[in-house]
Amino acid sequence: MSNLDALEREIQQDTTKLMQLESSLRTLQSEKKQKEDEVSKGKEAERELRRIEGEERKIEGEINTTKNKQDSTMRELDRVKKEAEETLRKSREQQK
């Protein structure tokens, strides 16, 4: 069962990471909106906007990667649970 616990821990860690990344993304998007409003004030704001957009793309990529990893881990967890159930079922049949 430690394999199941490890997979469940990994899913929880990924969920926590997603929440942190999504919070960071919201913060950056808020910052991006402020910088977009300042772009007309000068080139420095435009450079800062490009930096923020790059960070935004990076975080969005991390979110997608983490979601894909979490989906894969959930599928693995389901597979391991089914195997455990099948093993238990066979064990019970043999005891009869």
Identify residue 64 by its one-letter amino acid code: N
Spans of all domains in the chain:
2-95
What pTM, to 2 d.p., does this model score? 0.59
Dump the DSSP string for 41-92. Answer: G-HHHHHHHHHHHHHHHHHHHHHHHHHHHHHHHHHHHHHHHHHHHHHHHHHH
**Three-state SS for 32?**
helix
Spell out the per-residue pLDDT of the chain, length 96, in tens: 688 889 999 999 999 999 999 999 999 999 999 988 877 778 777 788 899 999 999 999 999 999 999 999 999 999 999 999 999 999 988 987
Q: Do the beta carbons of residue 3 and residue 73 sit within 8 Å?
A: no
